[in-house]
Amino acid sequence: MAEVHIHLAENIRFARQNAGETQWDLAEVCGVSPTAIANYESGLRQPDLVTLARIAEHYHLTLDALVLGKLHKS
C-alpha cells in the first residue's frame, strides 16, 4: 500500500511540473491550499476523492493512471 502513496505523490508532482504549473496553480484548480498540494507531492497527506478527481481531470488523466501509474521516469 505504501508504494501506491509514493506513486501518487510522484505522479501529482510530475503532472504539475510537466504542465508548467506551480503548486499555487494546482491549488487554485483544486480548491485547496498550496500547502496541501506540497503535502500531497511529498506524500505527507493524500488528497480526498474529490480533489483526486479534480487533479486527474485537470491533467487529462484517469484516476488509475494518476494513482497507480508510473508517469515519471525512474
Q: What CATH number should be reported for the domain holding residue 26?
A: 1.10.260.40
Mean pLDDT on 40-45: 95
38: in domain: yes
| Mean pLDDT confidence for 45-57 | 97
Residue 72 confidence (pLDDT): 62
Average pLDDT over residues 14-43: 97
Q: What is the residue range of 10's domain?
A: 2-68
Cα dist from 74 to 36, 40, 51, 62, 69, whole Å: 25, 19, 26, 21, 12
Residue 46 and residue 8 in contact, taking contact as beta carbons nearer than 8 Å: yes
Number of domains in the chain: 1
Whether 20 is covered by a domain: the verdict is yes
62 domain-assigned: yes
Average pLDDT along the chain: 91
Q: What is the pLDDT of residue 1?
A: 46
Calpha distance 34→9 (Å, rounded): 14
